[in-house]
Amino acid sequence: MLQKLVQEAIDAQVSSGREKAVQVAVYSGGELVVDAVAGPATSSSLFYTWSMGKAMTATIVHRLAERGAFGYDTTIASVWPSFGAEGKEGVTLRHVLQHTAGVPGIGATTTIADICDWDLICDRIASSAPWWEPGTQAGYHAYTFGYILGEFCRRATGKPLGDLLREEIGTPLGVDGDLWFGMPAAPRDRLVPLVDTPPPPGMSFELPPDSPMARAASAELWPTAALGNRSDVLGADIPAGGKMTARAIAKLYAALIGPVDGVRLLSPETVEAIGTDRFEGVDQVFGNPARFGLGFALGRLGGGPGDTSFGWGGMGGSFGYADPVSGMVVAYCKNLQTMDFSTATEIVELVNR
């Protein structure tokens, strides 16, 4: 019944022109109960969903921490010495996971070529000064979340994050080939190209050069179809984002909160810490109220008081989350780049009726 309701809902979104191509996957109690697709896509199509990929990065970090590779209070500089420059020697793994490290920007002059150059961008982040005393405020580390955690894990294990994604998540869950940071050429024929939505009439997206958002990254690095469809961006490890199918990212979330096909990715204790070891405050980059747990944003679309969900949305309107109390997982992937999450919210609320 839920499969039919979700299918009808996304068919309506596409037929009305509100969306172009959509995938939805829903797990309940460790079982896939919805696998729906609408528009020019299949369940095996890949979508670039931007920050939804942060769930992949955070999961890798948690799995390594559970095995004792490092702790949440380990300083980044103890593993990556040059990161301690400019007063960042006390930044811990917990600070980065909770977006309180004070390093939310990659610089207003950073180019597309720069973000595709792993060593260059990591060196630039390492030499930067914090915007605030680490641990005292929160601000969305849109790009730096992935680079800092990725370089930290690479130095701790000797393996790049793409290899860790395959070893820690892809192979155990049987979704190798459906979750990517940097994507080789072969699977790109499964990608659904991103499509931009024209801005509303009269709306300007120009920012004052001294605004936090402008300081954090140049305008050419804002997630758009033009950026996400580029071959160099698709091929680069930019682990604050990810390319995925809804089924694969939903299976990841389901395996965080319980066993799926006999595989559980994190212990119940770690999952509890994701929701309870948190930082709440005004986001120093975007100005909105923020609630960050260990590696995930807290709450789901449409969630109210008492919501126990955690997950990540992606700029453009995609969204994924897990609720460890209800056992419900929803992943919504799309290619039309919109400025809100209205269509994803419709599906999340439909599933939670």
State pLDDT tens for residues 53-110: 999 999 999 999 999 999 999 999 999 999 999 999 999 999 999 999 999 999 999 9
In the chain, which ranges are continuous DSSP H helix? 2-15, 54-66, 76-79, 93-97, 112-115, 118-126, 144-157, 161-165, 171-173, 212-216, 225-228, 231-235, 246-257, 268-276, 342-351
The reply to whether 289 falls in a domain is yes
In a domain, 324, yes or no: yes
How confident is the model over 323-332, as a mean pLDDT? 98
Q: Residue 206: pLDDT band by 50, 70, 90 thresholds?
A: low
Structural domain that includes position 275: 2-198+219-351
pLDDT of residue 204: 54
pLDDT average, residue stretch 22-27: 98
Residue 210 has a pLDDT of: 76
Q: Which residues contact 344 (CB under 8 A, 6 or more apart)?
A: 301, 313, 317, 318, 319, 332, 334
Q: Any idea what the Cα angle at residue 234 is, between residues 242 and 155, rounded to 5°?
A: 65
- What domain count does the chain have? 1
Does residue 212 sit within a domain? Answer: no
pLDDT-derived band of residue 209, with 50, 70 and 90 as boundaries?
confident
Tell me whether residue 207 is in a domain. no
Residue 352: per-residue pLDDT: 96
255, amino acid identity: A
The 10s digit of each residue's pLDDT in 275-322 is 999 999 999 999 999 999 999 999 999 998 899 999 999 999 999 999
pLDDT for position 202: 59
CA-to-CA distance for 204 and 263, rounded, in angstroms? 47
pLDDT at 127: 98
The DSSP symbol for 22 reads: E
Checking phi first, is residue 2 left (phi over 0); if not, alpha (psi -120 to 50) or beta?
alpha
Q: Which residues are catalytic?
A: 51
Under 8 Å between Cβ of 60 and 327: no
Rounded CA-CA distance 75/228 in Å is: 32
In a domain, 210, yes or no: no
Q: Classify residue 114: in a domain, yes or no.
A: yes
214 part of a folded domain: no
Percent of the chain exceeding pLDDT 90 equals 94
Whether 266 is in a domain gets the answer yes
Average confidence (pLDDT) over 255-264 = 98
Residue 51 reports pLDDT greater than 80? yes
The CATH code of the domain that includes 84 is: 3.40.710.10
